[in-house]
Amino acid sequence: MKRIAASALAVALLAAGCTNEGGGGSGGTGGDVPGVTDTSIVVGTHMPLTGPAAAGYSKIAPATKAYFDYVNANGGVHGRKIEYKVKDDAYNPANTQTVVRELVLQDKVFAILNGLGTPTHTGVLDFLKTNRVPDLFVASGSRSWNQADKYPGTFGFNPDYTVEGKILATHVKETYAGKKTCFLGQDDDFGRDSLLGVKKILGTVAAEEKYVTSSPNVGPQIGAFKAAGCEVVILATIPPFTALSIGTAAKIAYKPQFVVSNVGADPTTVAKTLGDAAPLMEGLVAANYLPLNTDESNPWIQLFQKVNKEHNAGAEFDNNVVYGMSVGYLFVQALQSAGKDLTRDKIVEVVQKNGFQGPGLVPLRFSAQDHSGYGGEQLTKIEKGKAVYFGTPYTTDDGDGPVTPYTNQPVTPPQSGVPAA
Amino acid sequence: MDEFIYLTFDGLSRGLVYAAFALALVLIWRAARIVNFAQGAMAVAAVYAGYSVTNATGSYWLGFVVALLTGLLLGVVVERVVMRFVDHSSPLNGVVVALGLVLIIQGTLGIIYGNEFQPVQTPFSRDAFEVGGIALLSRYDLFVFAAVGSVVVILTLLFTRTAVGLRMRAAAFAPDVSRLLGVSVGGMLTLGWALAAGVGSLAGMLVVPTELGVHPTAMDIVFVSAFAAAVVGGLDSPIGAVIGGLIVGLLLSYVSGYVDVSVTPMAVLALLVVVLLGRPGGLFSSSKARVA
Amino acid sequence: MTGVQTNEGGVTDVQTKQNAEPVPKQGVDLPRRRGWRPHPVIVVLAGALIVVGLTYVLPPFRNYQLATVGAYLCVTAGLTVLTGLNGQLSLGHGALMATGAYTLALTQNKFENLPLSFAAAIAVTTVAGAIIGLAAARLRGPYLAGLTLAVAIVVPSVASTFDETFNSDQGLSVMLNPPPEQFPMEQWQAWLCWSAALIVVLLLALLSRGRFGRDMRAVRDDETAAKLAGVNIARTQVLAFVASAACAGVAGALFAVLAQSVSPGAFPLTLSLFLLMAIVIGGLGSLFGALWGALLLVVLPALSQSVSEQAGSQRLEGNLALIVFGVVLVVVMLAAPGGLASIPSRISRMLRRNR
């Protein structure tokens, strides 16, 4: 019986193997580049489409895909259409392992693009390196992506959390000088790196607290801030916990100035969680590095709204959509620079060469030594339910470098909406 | 001191929700000798139903009523369609089936509503009244006190003062004799499940708005806390469930306030271990062995 | 595959017992073909041959899935012995896997010695299993389930309370040396997982054939009778739990190696529920059933994923697998507590009864 079982197992696995084999096209021009043919490029990603982290984030990959569809409809890149395979890992690192292997080994993707999450993506770095798969524009601000020696094919996208912490703290130092400042962060690289950046500027904070996503209660932490008399609270929180913190503070009649990481500040997502209490967000300070979804006069936003309408079934246009399309735009820029003879080495080479002018307000930091993403942010404030930029963008590094204003004029997208070669 | 008072009231408010939920577990345990591991998922389903109605009509109270009715109905369905056919010769079977229901309900809710936290509104403000500069209680906390209090009173009256209550108790304790005396044992069992699921969905409606919102797994942790509460009080004792709920609520509030929020699940586990090993019958039960 | 001791084996016996009240019947073994039972060593060797053959014909991703099946088989085999043969229901095996996985990660990152890390993982999980087992031996049915449920929920809490060591929700990455050049990674992974799985299965099969197996079944079926027969009930239960925990530890360690990382998110409560489904569907107490369960744990999510991709619905993804698993649990438990393999005999019995 055991034998029957084992052979049945073999048959099942083989059958499954046969049905799905051959999906990934190889062959193509000259060299045998996985995922690239004369007419197509297959790239893949892992995203939390379900599970606790899905809120908001599940909209990123469809937006990226919509932008690719837009590019494809306009002739593609060097005659190739981009096919984007999105796999759900539910923010579970074990699933990430499986889906990324499926993408690389079975679907034969050319590259992994914008894989989301620090714990999830950390686990596949070695696998992607071993298989020499370009690992572009990871969707997280962890500094782990910036290890050019160890992981030459991995590049970040988001400004890292330390850079952000320094910029937020600089604002606090200048605007709320002398006020008691406290810090609530997620208990992982996000919170820790952010606090590191904050302390680089402020030296110390009056109280620091942390939370874990598995325990949806920040009452004690917010209570401690109130007891400590904190007047400014810096949050390195994901959107649900931003909402929870604001709501909890209101519940105990505590009204500090909140200064929030970009990660947890998308007004649409936070307002949805706050529901009727959304007006509590008024005056909240945060930061961003991409055009804001509500800034309808911005040419990037006009482009993305058009793409959203035509190729994303008019999904609710929030900052996650802007983010996803910006990632798509950057990837198309990289493909254009890499030229007609696309190889995996070539794409890594052009990303390191950098020089991309994109929707971002500040330059990307990519170079042969530096694989971290955007190098700065600009502060936003929520006015009448909408985030608006104020001041100038700042750039800095994750070390002890100064926080400096960035004064170059932002670029506008090309008329066609597709970056030129 | 301020913090202590704040934590105490916060703990009582949470504890009452655990109490209601534990009460639901006790009701089913007394009626059917099953610990309903699907209680949390059923409650979430009811909350989703209420949430949909509230969103569609704009009326919180209509949604509230719909949620309770959905809870009752789910209890009937689960008992009539599934639990009735479980082979009860082993206590494992009921548990396994309930866990299967958890997966089914959570998966279905995920498909219908998506796996994102959906914020749920409260009917009353959650801004706390300040007494002498200390934030004590919100209107919403008072609503929780009142709702759980009424449930306890109603259930007590039902079981001690009405014929139906008497029949339910009889059917649970001596099914064969009751059957001979003309009590519809099956009917009483269904009624017990319906009541329990209704109370469970009330607990769900009360606790969900205070956390991240409604989500298919929103009640998992609440279930464990409530299970601990029921065990602390003794699975057979409704009064024990209420007191157990308050004990668990206060414990968790103090632990999260004075130690760390992330320690709270460990505190629940520790409490469970201590009670199960030290006083297996619970604090309010006289039975000695923990044999189901 | 394990059979039942001769005196009460076939499904027919089970049926009569199910109605005889005070005798608790906590699980049903697969029907055994009397007379033909190859020694477990032979079965395992045959299994090894098949697996090695498979690793040469399967493409890399299938090899990875095959490796995952092997890793799951370690834990399902251990759990089915505990629940099916000894009647203890554990929802904490996901947490025990986490224990093994974290131990492997910590040891490996310190010493970079895989055999040592595996030994440490097994040792620590065994101790953890002994502690939970000691508590479990005093508990029955829903109480045990509730306690182990709390254990399952506690994993992220432990990881974040001792975040210096376990690094909270983010978890740890596992340093691994690449396999020897001539073997592809996935093939090597499949060999590693299946070597472990086959050893685990062999040990469990030998264990449950022997005197200890008889003791476990005796305790499961009737504690009083077992006690009268001189079986030390508490000791049997604790040992069963320990053996089962060690298997979970091996599985956890394998998953840490496969994922090259460990984090609480990899060991959610649903994992424990899935494991339960896996052992129920193949028939509680059957190692053969544990194999089917492990296979389904890999195949069902993959199938439901491709179904949802074809349907183009994000929401189906993940959730469809939940529903399928849940329905399987309920239906099998209601219709065929002996597992899917017992359905034919049940049908024939029903036909007989209806005549």
Query: Given an 8 Å threshold on Cβ–Cβ distance, is C319 in contact with B92?
Result: no
* DSSP 3-state of A346: helix
Best residue of C82, C90, C167, C322 to probe chain B, by most B CBs closer than 10 Å = C322
CATH H-level superfamily of A161-288: Response regulator (3.40.50.2300)
* DSSP 3-state of A153: coil
User: What is the average per-residue pLDDT within A160-178?
Assistant: 93
Query: Given an 8 Å threshold on Cβ–Cβ distance, is C170 in contact with A188?
Result: yes
Query: Given an 8 Å threshold on Cβ–Cβ distance, is A93 in contact with C68?
Result: no
Q: What six digits make up the tokens of B38?
A: 């699907």
d(Cα B253, Cα B268) in Å, to the nearest integer? 11
Strand partners, A85: A44
Residue C141 belongs to a domain: yes
* CATH architecture entry for A30-159+295-375: 3-Layer(aba) Sandwich (3.40)
For residue A190, what is the enclosing H or E element?
helix A189-202
d(Cα B208, Cα A275) in Å, to the nearest integer? 13
For chain C, the straight-line distance linking the first and the last C-alpha, in angstroms and rounded, comes to: 33
Query: Given an 8 Å threshold on Cβ–Cβ distance, is A187 in contact with C59?
Result: no
Phi, psi of A377 (to 5 degrees): -150, 165
Q: Which chains does chain C touch, 3 or more C-beta pairs < 8 A?
A: A, B
Query: Given an 8 Å threshold on Cβ–Cβ distance, is A243 in contact with B256?
Result: no
Residue C228 forms contact with A (CB below 8 Å):
no
Query: Given an 8 Å threshold on Cβ–Cβ distance, is C140 in contact with B93?
Result: no
d(Cα A109, Cα A136) in Å, to the nearest integer? 12
Q: Where are the domains of chain A?
A: 30-159+295-375, 161-288
- Cβ burial A257-287 (10 Å sphere, 16+ → b, else e): bbbbbbbbbbbbbbbbbbbebbebbeebbbb
Residue C18 belongs to a domain: no
Residue A251 forms contact with B (CB below 8 Å):
yes
pLDDT band for position A21 (cuts 50, 70, 90): very low
Is the pLDDT at A3 greater than 70? The verdict is no
d(Cα C53, Cα C59) in Å, to the nearest integer? 12
DSSP state at residue A116: B
Residues B180 and B1 sit within 8 Å (Cβ to Cβ): no
Residues B214 and B117 sit within 8 Å (Cβ to Cβ): yes
Q: Which among A9-23, A90-104, A197-211 has the top mean pLDDT?
A: A197-211
d(Cα C205, Cα C43) in Å, to the nearest integer? 10
CB under 8 Å to B41, separation ≥6 — which residues?
B101, B102, B105, B106, B109, B216, B219
Which residues in chain C have Cβ-Cβ distances shorter than 8 Å to A106?
A: 59-61
CB under 8 Å to B11, separation ≥6 — which residues?
B246, B249, B250, B251, B252, B253, B254
Q: The pTM is what? A: 0.83
d(Cα B15, Cα B238) in Å, to the nearest integer? 14
> Of B211, B197, B220, B207, nearest to B68 (Cα)?
B197
d(Cα B195, Cα A210) in Å, to the nearest integer? 40
Q: What six digits make up the tokens of C52?
A: 């090695």
For tokens 């598995």, the residue is A214
Residues A204 and A256 sit within 8 Å (Cβ to Cβ): no
Crossing angle, helix C141-161 and helix B264-278, to 10 degrees?
150
> Of B81, B93, B95, B115, nearest to B38 (Cα)?
B95
Residues A46 and A100 sit within 8 Å (Cβ to Cβ): yes
Please give the residue that has the higher pLDDT: either C115 or A223: C115
Sequential pLDDT tens for chain B (292 residues): 677 887 888 889 889 999 999 999 998 888 888 889 899 999 999 999 999 999 899 899 999 999 999 999 999 999 999 988 888 777 778 888 998 999 999 999 988 887 777 778 788 877 777 776 666 778 888 899 999 999 999 988 888 888 888 888 888 888 888 888 888 888 888 999 999 999 999 999 998 887 778 888 888 888 889 988 998 888 888 888 999 999 999 999 899 888 877 788 899 899 988 888 877 666 766 544 444 4
Residue C318 forms contact with A (CB below 8 Å):
yes
Query: Given an 8 Å threshold on Cβ–Cβ distance, is B107 in contact with C138?
Result: no
Best residue of B116, B120, B129, B266 to probe chain A, by most A CBs closer than 10 Å = B116
Query: Given an 8 Å threshold on Cβ–Cβ distance, is B261 in contact with A221?
Result: yes
Residue C115 forms contact with A (CB below 8 Å):
no
Strand partners, A364: A374
Taking CB atoms and an 8 Å cut-off, how many pairs form between chains A and B? 85
Best residue of B99, B109, B269, B277 to probe chain C, by most C CBs closer than 10 Å = B99
What's the total number of domains in chain C? 1
Please give the residue that has the higher pLDDT: either B170 or A21: B170
Q: Is B158 exposed, middle or buried (0-12, 13-18, 19+ CB in 10 A)?
A: middle
Query: Given an 8 Å threshold on Cβ–Cβ distance, is B127 in contact with A250?
Result: yes
Q: Is A26 exposed, middle or buried (0-12, 13-18, 19+ CB in 10 A)?
A: middle
Query: Given an 8 Å threshold on Cβ–Cβ distance, is C54 in contact with A88?
Result: no
Strand partners, A232: A181, A257
Query: Given an 8 Å threshold on Cβ–Cβ distance, is B212 in contact with A273?
Result: yes
Query: Given an 8 Å threshold on Cβ–Cβ distance, is A55 in contact with B116?
Result: yes
Taking CB atoms and an 8 Å cut-off, how many pairs form between chains A and C? 149
Best residue of C170, C173, C299 to probe chain A, by most A CBs closer than 10 Å = C170
pLDDT band for position A52 (cuts 50, 70, 90): low
Which residues in chain A have Cβ-Cβ distances shorter than 8 Å to B9?
A: none
d(Cα A273, Cα A244) in Å, to the nearest integer? 8
Q: Which H, E and C letters describe chain C, residue by residue?
A: CCCCCHHHCCHHHHHHHHHCCCCCCCCCCCCCCCCCCCCHHHHHHHHHHHHHHHHHHCCHHHHHHHHHHHHHHHHHHHHHHHHHHCCCCCCCHHHHHHHHHHHHHHHHHHHCCHHHHHHHHHHHHHHHHHHHHHHHCCCCHHHHHHHHHHHHHHHHHHHHHCHHHHCHHHCEECCCCCCCCCCCHHHHHHHHHHHHHHHHHHHHHHHHHCHHHHHHHHHHHCHHHHHHCCCCHHHHHHHHHHHHHHHHHHHHHHHHHHHCEECHHHCCHHHHHHHHHHHHHCCCCCHHHHHHHHHHHHHHHHHHHHHHHHHCCCCHHHHHHHHHHHHHHHHHHHHCCCCHHHHHHHHHHHHHHHC
Query: Given an 8 Å threshold on Cβ–Cβ distance, is C330 in contact with B224?
Result: no
> Of B220, B219, B239, nearest to B229 (Cα)?
B239
Q: Which among A301-305, A352-356, A401-405 has the top mean pLDDT?
A: A301-305
Residue C307 forms contact with A (CB below 8 Å):
no
Q: What pLDDT sits at residue C354? A: 58
Residues B36 and B28 sit within 8 Å (Cβ to Cβ): yes
Residues A58 and C314 sit within 8 Å (Cβ to Cβ): yes
User: What is the average per-residue pLDDT within A9-18?
Assistant: 48
CATH number for B2-278 (one of 2.70.98, 1.10.3470, 2.160.20, 2.60.40): it is 1.10.3470
> What number of CA atoms fall less than 13 Å from residue A1's CA on the CB side?
21
Query: Given an 8 Å threshold on Cβ–Cβ distance, is C326 in contact with B86?
Result: no
Q: What pLDDT sits at residue B211? A: 77
Q: How far C54 CA lies from chain B's nearest CA (Å)?
A: 33
Q: How far A356 CA lies from chain B's nearest CA (Å)?
A: 35
Residues B99 and C329 sit within 8 Å (Cβ to Cβ): yes
Which residues in chain A have Cβ-Cβ distances shorter than 8 Å to C258?
A: 97
Taking only the tens place, the pLDDT of each residue in B223-241 is 889 988 998 888 888 888 9
Q: What pLDDT sits at residue A12? A: 52
Residue C265 forms contact with B (CB below 8 Å):
no
In terms of CA atoms, which chain B residue is nearest residue C21?
B89
Separation in Å, CA C115 to CA B254, C107, C176: 44, 10, 12
Residues C147 and B276 sit within 8 Å (Cβ to Cβ): yes
Residue C42 forms contact with B (CB below 8 Å):
no
- C:66-105 residues touching chain B, CB 8 A cutoff: 83, 87, 89, 91
No. of H helices and E strands in chain B? Answer: 11, 2
* Nearest-by-Cβ selection for C64 from A12, A94, A101: A101
Q: Is A252 exposed, middle or buried (0-12, 13-18, 19+ CB in 10 A)?
A: buried
Q: What six digits make up the tokens of C35?
A: 């007379």
Sequential pLDDT tens for chain C (355 residues): 333 333 333 333 333 333 333 434 444 444 444 456 778 888 889 999 999 999 899 888 899 999 999 999 999 999 999 988 888 888 899 999 999 999 999 999 999 899 999 999 999 999 999 999 988 888 877 788 888 888 988 888 888 888 888 887 778 888 887 777 778 888 999 999 999 999 999 999 998 888 888 888 888 888 888 888 888 888 999 999 999 999 999 999 999 998 888 888 888 888 888 898 888 888 888 888 899 999 999 988 888 878 877 776 666 767 888 888 889 888 888 887 666 666 666 667 766 665 5
Which residues in chain A have Cβ-Cβ distances shorter than 8 Å to C62?
A: 13-14, 16-17
d(Cα A263, Cα A94) in Å, to the nearest integer? 24
Taking only the tens place, the pLDDT of each residue in A342-401 is 999 999 999 999 888 889 999 999 999 999 999 999 999 999 888 999 999 999 988 888
